[in-house]
């Protein structure tokens, strides 16, 4: 007869419990990592132009029946509900349109029941329809603005900003300083000569036109209509990026006044 004896000690049980806890924590970490990677793999909100000429659109639009994107007031691409949003208030719509390029204009077509309306992209980086003499804000021009697809590629070199206690900050309103971003670039050497190593740029987001302003497109920037779109009077998103690049090449940091 053979007897099989199983020995167990408090130390062995403790080691097993520790291993089980570590295993569970590892699974939780892996799940969190995968969720993070999947989230970061998604295109950001707004319009993302890809190298193959397609553009992916993502917009948060809860409690509606359908969403589509209309490009250049012609082609319409339906969007679908993005999976993974269990809360109805978090509903996000997405879709990819072919044959697109920088400068194409678009709006979202949103339907609730029998009512359909067109809306600009709240994440658009550029808008049309804000130029004098008949831009948005002036009577009869409410339907003029369109969201604009922009080229996301730009070579922005690395930059090390000066420490806070060494900053010499120049508050800068693009419109009164030089009218445009390109004009401001021409004056950067002047600022550098003054000893400035940081510029605080007053708000540069898109504003409406005002009939009681002279000129109608002059504004301090504290009443934006789009929080992500560059004010068209100052230039394009590419012009702004070039302004930042030129500042950095002169070792000048850029601080943006955000409303």
∠214-180-195 over CA atoms, to 5°? 115
For the chain, the distance separating the N- and C-terminal CA atoms, rounded to the nearest angstrom, is 86
**Spatial separation of the C-alpha atoms in residues 147 and 69, rounded to whole Å:** 11
pLDDT in tens, 164-221: 999 999 999 999 999 999 999 999 999 999 999 999 999 999 999 999 998 998 889 9
pLDDT at position 75 is 83
In the chain the domains, ranked by start, together with CATH numbers, are 46-123 (2.60.40.10), 164-256 (3.30.750.90)
| Residue 107 CB burial class (10 angstroms; 0-12, 13-18, ≥19) | buried
Structure tokens belonging to residue 142: 């409410």
Contact 29, 63 (CB under 8 A): no
Residues of the chain short of pLDDT 70, as ranges, are: 1-42
Contact between 175 and 234 (Cβ < 8 Å)? yes
| Distance separating alpha carbons of residues 56 and 36, to the nearest angstrom | 20
Q: What is the reported pLDDT for 12?
A: 54
pLDDT at 19: 53
* Whole-number Å distance between alpha carbons of 153 and 155: 7
């Amino acid at each position: 007869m053979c007897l099989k004896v199983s020995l167990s000690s408090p130390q062995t049980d403790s080691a097993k419990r520790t291993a089980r806890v570590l295993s569970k924590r590892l699974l939780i970490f892996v799940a969190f990592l995968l969720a993070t990677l999947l989230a970061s793999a998604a295109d950001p909100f707004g319009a993302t132009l890809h190298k193959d000429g397609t553009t992916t659109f993502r917009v948060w639009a809860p409690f509606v029946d359908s969403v589509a994107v209309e490009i250049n007031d012609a082609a319409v691409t339906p969007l679908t509900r993005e999976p993974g949003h269990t809360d109805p208030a978090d509903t996000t719509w997405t879709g990819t349109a072919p044959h697109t390029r920088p400068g194409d204009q678009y709006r979202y077509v949103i339907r609730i029941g029998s009512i359909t309306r067109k809306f600009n992209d709240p994440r658009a980086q550029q808008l049309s329809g804000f130029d004098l003499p008949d831009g948005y804000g002036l009577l009869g021009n409410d339907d003029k603005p369109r969201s604009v697809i922009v080229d996301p590629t730009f070579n922005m070199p690395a930059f090390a900003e000066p420490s806070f206690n060494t900053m010499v900050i120049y508050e800068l309103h693009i419109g009164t300083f030089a009218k445009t971003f390109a004009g401001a670039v021409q004056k950067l050497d002047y600022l550098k000569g003054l000893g400035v190593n940081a510029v605080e740029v007053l708000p540069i987001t898109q504003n409406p036109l005002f009939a009681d302003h002279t000129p109608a497109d002059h504004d301090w920037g504290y009443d934006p209509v789009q929080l992500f779109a560059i004010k068209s009077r100052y230039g394009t998103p590419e012009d702004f990026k070039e302004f930042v690049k030129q500042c950095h090449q002169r070792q000048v940091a850029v601080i943006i006044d955000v409303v």
